[in-house]
């Protein structure tokens, strides 16, 4: 018997001003875009902004539906927006933030399981890791260099 130990490295920043200008700008866009969230049921607004290799930025927000299973996450909305508008352009980074009417989110929010799978597919598609920049409404910022670090043993096309 052998044991495999999986490690995840997270860079933790206490203040957005410690980030690179590019990451600051992307995170700022995510915060600014929260107002476009359609979340009348959960009152939990999520926004994601994406930076492409060509320097373009796009964003997406969560889009809820009375039929809950139809709800769309901000991360997948943003990435679908990016890959629809610029299908040949690799994605460098995604910033994710959220705001709740129930509590102050003072810790980073991270993508749900299906969104992790979706981000990893984009990494594989463009053969480039996607940096994750995660923050709540306020508080520390987590930066991870690839989504694969939060989706160990992920499923990909090599199994098909």
Catalytic residues: 75
Q: Sort 70 into a burial class: Cβ within 10 Å, 0-12 / 13-18 / 19+.
A: exposed
Identify which of residues 43 and 54 has a Cβ nearer to Zn ion in the complex: 43
Select the span of 3-11, 60-68, 107-115, 130-138 touching Zn ion (CB under 5 A).
Answer: 107-115
Least distance in angstroms from the C-beta of 114 to Zn ion: 6
Closer residue to Zn ion in complex, CB, 24/36:
36
Please report whether residue 115 would count as binding Zn ion according to CB under 5 A. Answer: yes
Give the total of residues touching Zn ion (CB under 5 A). Answer: 3
Stretch that binds Zn ion, among 37-45, 47-55, 100-108, 109-117 (CB under 5 A): 109-117
**78 touching Zn ion, by CB under 5 A:** no
Closest distance to Zn ion from the beta carbon of 42 (Å): 12
Tallying the residues shown for the chain, one arrives at 160
Beta bridge partners of 51: 57, 93
CA dihedral sign, ordered 110, 116, 121, 124: positive
Residue 137 · residue 104 · CB < 8 Å: yes
3-state secondary structure of 83: helix
| Helices marked H in 1-136 | 21-33, 74-85, 113-126
Residues binding Zn ion (CB under 5 A): 73, 112, 115
């Amino acid at each position: 018997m052998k044991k495999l130990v999986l490690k995840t490295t997270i860079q933790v920043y206490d203040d957005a001003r410690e980030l690179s200008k590019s990451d600051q700008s992307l995170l700022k866009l995510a915060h600014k875009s929260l107002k476009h969230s359609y979340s009348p049921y959960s009152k939990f607004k999520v926004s994601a902004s994406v930076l492409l290799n060509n320097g373009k930025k796009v964003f997406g927000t969560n889009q809820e539906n009375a039929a809950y299973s139809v709800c769309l996450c901000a991360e997948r909305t943003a990435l679908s927006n990016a890959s629809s508008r610029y299908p040949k352009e690799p994605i460098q980074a995604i910033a994710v933030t959220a705001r709740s009417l129930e509590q102050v989110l003072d810790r980073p929010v991270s993508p749900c399981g299906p969104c992790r799978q979706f981000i990893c597919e984009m990494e594989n598609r463009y053969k480039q890791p996607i940096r994750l920049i995660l923050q709540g409404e306020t508080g520390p910022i987590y930066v991870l260099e690839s989504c694969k670090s939060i989706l160990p043993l992920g499923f990909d096309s090599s199994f098909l």
